[in-house]
């Protein structure tokens, strides 16, 4: 994936509600209504890193934030603020491989079901073509924030 990303690390904070030090996605490469590709460069000092690897929780959270980034990018296309989303359910999350620091975890998001305040997605993560994890997630989206909150979201906020 060498094409210019839709959202890069220096803009990502404007697209997702999660912020440093708990930001776990940094780039959006591709975004279509039913699928997206996003990635995280695993910083050695990230608080979800342990013993040189991104923790299992860090992998699952990166998947959830890939979905948040897709939703935030689509919201921005329509001049809306990103909505806070919570993981409501995880189903059949399998972790096969840990991701070492200084590597990039790439997540594919597939939308299975879209409702006004709920998304059901299938996520698959890899690094260097190695399967890291896959999972089915149900995310609950909070109601649209007021328009004024847009101004409060930093537009340029380093995540590393």
Partner 1 sequence: MQRTDYLLLGTFFTLDSQVQELDQLHLQVRLNSRHALYEGHFPSRPVVPGVCVLGMVKDVLQHHLSQRLLLRTCTSGKFLRPIDPFTMATLDLTVQYTPRNLLLDFVASIQHERHVLCRVMGCFQPYAT
> Are the C-beta atoms of 134 and 122 separated by less than 8 Å?
yes
Residue 89: CB atoms within 10 Å:
10
Q: Which stretch binds partner 1 (CB under 8 A): 19-27, 29-37, 108-116, 117-125?
A: 19-27
Pick between residue 20 and residue 111 the one whose CB is nearest to partner 1: 20
**57 interacts with partner 1 by CB under 8 A:** yes
Which residue number, 93 or 101, has a Cβ lying nearer to partner 1? Answer: 93
CA distance 74 to 45: 30
Q: How far apart are CA 64 and CA 118, in angstroms?
A: 13
Alpha carbons within 13 A on the beta-carbon side of 39: 22
Give the interface size with partner 1 as a residue count (CB under 8 A).
30
Distance CA 96, CA 121 (A): 19
User: In angstroms, what is the minimal distance from the CB of 118 to partner 1?
Assistant: 13
- Give the residue from 156, 61, 160 showing the smallest Cα distance to 101: 160
Binding test (CB under 8 A) with partner 1, winner from 9, 29, 41, 95:
95
Q: What is the CA radius of gyration of the chain?
A: 15
91 binds partner 1 (CB under 8 A): yes
Min. distance of Cβ 135 from partner 1 in angstroms? 8
Among 7, 12, 14, 23, binds partner 1 (CB under 8 A): 23
Binding site for partner 1 (CB under 8 A): 17-23, 47-48, 50, 55-58, 60-61, 64, 84, 86-95, 98, 135
């Amino acid at each position: 994936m060498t094409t210019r990303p839709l959202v890069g690390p220096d803009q990502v904070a404007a697209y997702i509600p999660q912020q440093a030090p708990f930001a776990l996605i940094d780039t959006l490469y591709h975004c279509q209504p039913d699928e997206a590709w996003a990635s995280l460069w695993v910083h050695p000092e990230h608080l979800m890193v342990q013993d040189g690897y991104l923790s299992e929780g860090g992998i699952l959270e990166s998947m959830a934030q890939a979905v948040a980034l897709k939703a935030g990018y689509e919201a921005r296309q329509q001049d809306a603020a990103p909505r806070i989303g919570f993981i409501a359910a995880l189903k059949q999350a399998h972790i096969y491989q840990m991701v070492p620091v200084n590597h990039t975890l790439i997540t594919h998001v597939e939308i299975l079901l879209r409702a006004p305040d709920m998304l059901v997605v299938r996520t698959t993560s890899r690094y260097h073509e190695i399967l890291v994890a896959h999972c089915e997630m149900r995310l609950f989206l909070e109601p649209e924030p007021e328009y004024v909150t847009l101004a409060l979201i930093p537009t340029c906020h380093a995540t590393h």
